[in-house]
């Protein structure tokens, strides 16, 4: 945890040799770390058996990393640094943020030293050290709120986990990756893991060869360009006019780790992802045939927005259904907390029902107190957090039951809540705090921690690991990640300056967050009735799709694709592998039966694991090369 946290900013954003931690429901860094540990364990088994790690210890380590490491990238930590400094460094006489934003920004979330703000973006002057003292107050304030959010999600996940895992028997497809790496032996080695399977290496060879050829092209430009990410197949429609020009943005991407997972999940899910994406594009074509193009601001309704808000309604409806479905587990936990019923001992549970309810209540009370300290309207904070938990619960289900690798939304963060409520109903402080809370915890749901927590609970339960070990380990891991992650990130940024680093995550995130905030403060609008209608309509559609899926055994489509169809992740990452994965799986089962599918299944896991290992190896070589050149 300490090594990954400290090294991540250097290899991810400075050398850009490898996105170390990664994003999504499977984090690159955790998979690579587990393979390295299993390989090292093999040497220990041969040379020093008493010191070898057990399967339970290795999977516990993996679970600790999965629960917390996502916060290093798209989970929030870089965004904390950005939003703490961006409105002060980027303030100009023309945007007048000094009077528009600064008065509503709590003093205890600001850096007390103006020089520290400038040094963050431009780098330290010669002979000046990192101003750790100036950063201490804001970072402690943001970190305590982040811990409360993590505790709240952890407690809610614990209340739902046993019901989802044992009664509803969700499959948790992505959990197969760590269990395949460790194998079934008590003392795992590479020889006892799936990596000893010949079929595994057939799948592993594909991303390995592809990744090595891409890497070699850096040194030998004459090699063919095999880059398969965001190929603009929609440019064939450019210049054709409406409605066909709406398809200009269609991209084809082939990420082998996503393809592997799409071959592991049920065909009804992979079908749902690409089918609803196609239906999304058909909707845009229909709108455009009436002269309303996506993003057109002078029309009575923006088609992209309308569809995105329908998906918001779908998220809320799905979350409400899931909480209702698990109502007995939630009720039992509440009664245990009140002392009205006896707790059934379950050593594999991460928390007892009583502890989970108390933890959820305490974290919620702390967050409410925190919001009151900022001066925002408490009712608006309650609505924002209710929406956050709705997305978290629904997202956990999408990952746990359907294996969605990159959780995303068509409308992100607080934008949906603000446009439904209306910025005019919010105080200026509430508008500012909505943007700040959203930027850190809600703007990018790809690494939302609750799906990771559910996966870890499934993993530790399957490995028969005491739940309290994961809870204590995750708490320790959070503090290690915060300390080492912030130290590494602040050191790197202050030495080189944020303006010299890639726009994402520092510059882009600040621009989006404060651009939206600027608009809502200068020209606050009332709630949009069309978008409110879209939310209601999306809830009804999601309810109907869920009913069809549960009631009709012959219904072939999962409803999950509906609520993510217009998202960036589906557009740029998911739909292409989903289509190909659905075809491969359907053909295997149709012409070879389940027996052939099970025989080929290790190759799909090979696609996933190799797609993570290959860039790790080439990235490590790149880092060594860059280091040698720097030493010269």
**Tokens for 198?**
């010949």
Q: For the ranges 30-34, 144-148, 149-153, 405-409, which has the lowest average pLDDT?
A: 405-409
- The reported pLDDT for the residue numbered 627 is 54
Which residue has tokens 């939206």? 516
The residue count for the chain: 632
What is the per-residue pLDDT across 277-308, written as a single tens digit (0 to 9) for each?
999 999 999 988 888 877 665 566 788 889 99
Judge contact between 486 and 104, C-beta under 8 A: no
- The reported pLDDT for the residue numbered 284 is 92
Distances (CA, A) of 361 to 49, 189, 350, 498: 45, 43, 17, 38
SS (H, E, C) 599-628: HHHHHHHHHHHHHHHHHHHHHHHHHHHHHH
Instruction: Kindly report the average pLDDT of the chain as a whole number.
Output: 92
- The reported pLDDT for the residue numbered 204 is 97
- The reported pLDDT for the residue numbered 147 is 94
Report, as an integer, the average pLDDT of 373-393.
95
**Tokens for 476?**
């320790």
- When pLDDT is cut at 50, 70 and 90, the band that residue 194 belongs to is very high
Distances (CA, A) of 47 to 37, 50, 290, 475: 15, 9, 73, 33
Buried-exposed string 258-270: b where 16+ CB fall within 10 A, e elsewhere: bbbbbbbbbbbbb
Is residue 336 helix, strand or coil?
Answer: helix
User: Quick check: 442 pLDDT over 70?
Assistant: yes
Judge contact between 565 and 410, C-beta under 8 A: yes
User: Among candidates 511, 515, 489, 484, which has minimal Cα distance to 501?
Assistant: 489
Is residue 295 helix, strand or coil?
Answer: coil
What is the per-residue pLDDT across 510-525, written as a single tens digit (0 to 9) for each?
898 999 999 999 999 9
Characterise 16 by phi-psi region: left (phi > 0), alpha (psi -120 to 50), beta (else): left
- Please enumerate in sequence order all residues whose Cβ is within 8 A of that of 9, keeping only pairs 6 or more positions apart, or say none: 485, 488, 489, 492, 493
- The reported pLDDT for the residue numbered 535 is 96
Per DSSP, the chain holds a count of helices (H) and strands (E) of 23, 0
- The reported pLDDT for the residue numbered 485 is 93
- The reported pLDDT for the residue numbered 23 is 86
Query: Within a 10 A sphere around the Cβ of 48, how many other Cβ atoms?
Result: 9
Q: For the ranges 68-77, 272-281, 578-587, which has the lowest average pLDDT?
A: 68-77
The C-alpha atoms of residue 257 and residue 608 are separated, in whole angstroms, by: 4
What is the per-residue pLDDT across 56-87, written as a single tens digit (0 to 9) for each?
999 999 999 999 988 888 668 889 999 999 99
Helix axes 2-9, 28-47, angle to 10 degrees: 140
- Residue 252 forms beta bridges with which residues? 231
The C-alpha atoms of residue 41 and residue 48 are separated, in whole angstroms, by: 9
User: Quick check: 413 pLDDT over 90?
Assistant: no
- The reported pLDDT for the residue numbered 620 is 85
The C-alpha atoms of residue 476 and residue 374 are separated, in whole angstroms, by: 28
User: What is the pTM assigned to this prediction?
Assistant: 0.94
Is cis: bond before 463, omega within 30 of 0?
no
- When pLDDT is cut at 50, 70 and 90, the band that residue 218 belongs to is confident
Judge contact between 104 and 53, C-beta under 8 A: no
- When pLDDT is cut at 50, 70 and 90, the band that residue 219 belongs to is confident
Q: What percentage of the chain reaches a pLDDT higher than 70?
A: 98
**By residue range, what is the domain housing residue 71?**
2-631
- The reported pLDDT for the residue numbered 205 is 97
- The reported pLDDT for the residue numbered 76 is 81
Cα dihedral value 147, 570, 66, 607, nearest 10: -170
- When pLDDT is cut at 50, 70 and 90, the band that residue 625 belongs to is confident
Q: Is 320 exposed, middle or buried (0-12, 13-18, 19+ CB in 10 A)?
A: middle
Count structural domains, the chain: 1
- The reported pLDDT for the residue numbered 319 is 97
- The reported pLDDT for the residue numbered 314 is 96
Query: Within a 10 A sphere around the Cβ of 94, how many other Cβ atoms?
Result: 6
Report, as an integer, the average pLDDT of 318-344.
93
Judge contact between 548 and 317, C-beta under 8 A: no
Is cis: bond before 29, omega within 30 of 0?
no
- When pLDDT is cut at 50, 70 and 90, the band that residue 628 belongs to is low
Q: For the ranges 128-132, 255-259, 387-391, 619-623, which has the lowest average pLDDT?
A: 619-623
Q: Which residue has the higher pLDDT, 202 or 505?
A: 202
User: Quick check: 621 pLDDT over 90?
Assistant: no
User: Among candidates 255, 260, 259, 264, which has minimal Cα distance to 211?
Assistant: 255
Query: Within a 10 A sphere around the Cβ of 282, how many other Cβ atoms?
Result: 10
The C-alpha atoms of residue 316 and residue 322 are separated, in whole angstroms, by: 10
CA atoms within a 13 Å half-sphere pointing along the CA-CB vector of 551: 6
Report, as an integer, the average pLDDT of 199-221.
94
The C-alpha atoms of residue 216 and residue 417 are separated, in whole angstroms, by: 47
User: Among candidates 390, 602, 459, 620, which has minimal Cα distance to 25?
Assistant: 459
- The reported pLDDT for the residue numbered 12 is 87
- When pLDDT is cut at 50, 70 and 90, the band that residue 329 belongs to is very high
């Amino acid at each position: 945890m300490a090594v990954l946290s400290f090294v991540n900013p250097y290899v991810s954003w400075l050398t850009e040799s490898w996105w170390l931690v990664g994003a999504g429901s499977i984090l690159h860094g955790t998979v690579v770390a587990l393979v390295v540990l299993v390989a090292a364990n093999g040497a220990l088994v041969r040379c020093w058996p008493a010191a070898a790690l057990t399967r339970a210890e290795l999977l516990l380590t993996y679970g600790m990393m999965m629960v917390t490491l996502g916060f290093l990238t798209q989970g929030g930590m870089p965004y904390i640094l950005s939003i703490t400094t961006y409105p002060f460094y980027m303030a100009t006489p023309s945007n007048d943020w000094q009077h528009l934003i600064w008065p509503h920004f709590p003093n205890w979330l600001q850096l007390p030293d103006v020089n520290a703000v400038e040094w963050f973006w431009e780098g330290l002057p010669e002979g000046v050290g990192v101003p750790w003292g100036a950063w201490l107050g804001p970072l402690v304030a943001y970190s305590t709120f982040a811990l409360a959010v993590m505790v709240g999600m952890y407690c809610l996940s614990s209340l739902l986990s046993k019901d989802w895992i044992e009664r509803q028997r969700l499959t948790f497809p992505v959990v197969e990756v760590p269990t395949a790496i460790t194998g079934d032996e008590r003392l795992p080695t590479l020889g006892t893991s799936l990596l000893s399977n010949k079929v595994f290496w057939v799948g592993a060879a594909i991303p390995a060869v592809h990744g090595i050829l891409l890497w070699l092209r850096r040194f030998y430009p004459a090699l063919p360009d095999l880059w398969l990410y965001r190929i603009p197949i929609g440019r064939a429609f450019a210049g054709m006019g409406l409605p066909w020009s709406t398809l200009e943005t269609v991209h084809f991407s082939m990420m082998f780790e996503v393809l592997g997972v799409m071959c592991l999940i049920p065909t009804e899910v992979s079908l749902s992802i690409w089918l609803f994406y196609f239906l999304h594009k058909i909707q845009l074509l229909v709108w455009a045939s009436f002269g309303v193009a996506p993003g057109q601001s002078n029309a009575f309704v923006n088609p992209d927005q309308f569809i995105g808000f329908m998906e918001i309604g779908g998220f809320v409806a799905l979350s409400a259904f899931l909480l209702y479905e698990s109502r007995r587990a939630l009720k039992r936990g509440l009664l245990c907390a009140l002392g009205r019923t006896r707790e059934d001992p379950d050593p594999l549970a991460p928390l007892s029902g009583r502890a989970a309810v108390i933890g959820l209540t305490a974290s919620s009370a702390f967050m409410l107190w925190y919001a009151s300290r900022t001066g925002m309207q408490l009712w608006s904070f309650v609505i924002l957090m209710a929406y956050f938990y709705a997305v978290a619960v629904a997202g956990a289900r999408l990952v746990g039951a359907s294996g969605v690798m990159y959780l995303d939304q068509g409308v992100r963060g607080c934008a949906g809540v603000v446009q439904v409520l209306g910025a005019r109903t919010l105080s200026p402080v509430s508008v500012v705090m909505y943007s700040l809370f959203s930027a850190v915890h809600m703007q990018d749901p790809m690494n939302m921690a609750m799906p990771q927590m559910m996966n870890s609970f499934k993993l530790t339960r399957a490995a028969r690991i005491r739940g309290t070990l994961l809870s204590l380990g995750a708490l320790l891991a959070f503090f290690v990640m915060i300390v080492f992650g912030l130290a590494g990130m602040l050191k790197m940024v202050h030495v080189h300056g944020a303006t010299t680093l890639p726009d994402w995550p520092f510059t882009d995130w600040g621009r989006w967050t404060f651009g939206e905030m600027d608009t809502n403060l200068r020209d606050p609008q009332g709630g949009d009735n069309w978008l409110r209608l879209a939310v209601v309509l999306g809830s009804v559609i999601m309810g109907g799709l869920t009913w069809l899926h549960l009631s009709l055994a012959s219904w072939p489509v999962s409803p999950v694709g509906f609520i993510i169809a217009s998202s960036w992740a589906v557009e740029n990452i998911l739909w292409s592998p989903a289509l190909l994965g659905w075809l491969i799986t359907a053909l295997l089962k149709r012409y070879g039966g389940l027996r052939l599918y099970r025989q080929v299944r290790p190759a799909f896991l090979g696609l996933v694991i190799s797609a993570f290992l290959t860039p790790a190896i080439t990235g490590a070589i790149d880092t060594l090369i860059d280091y040698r050149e720097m030493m010269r």
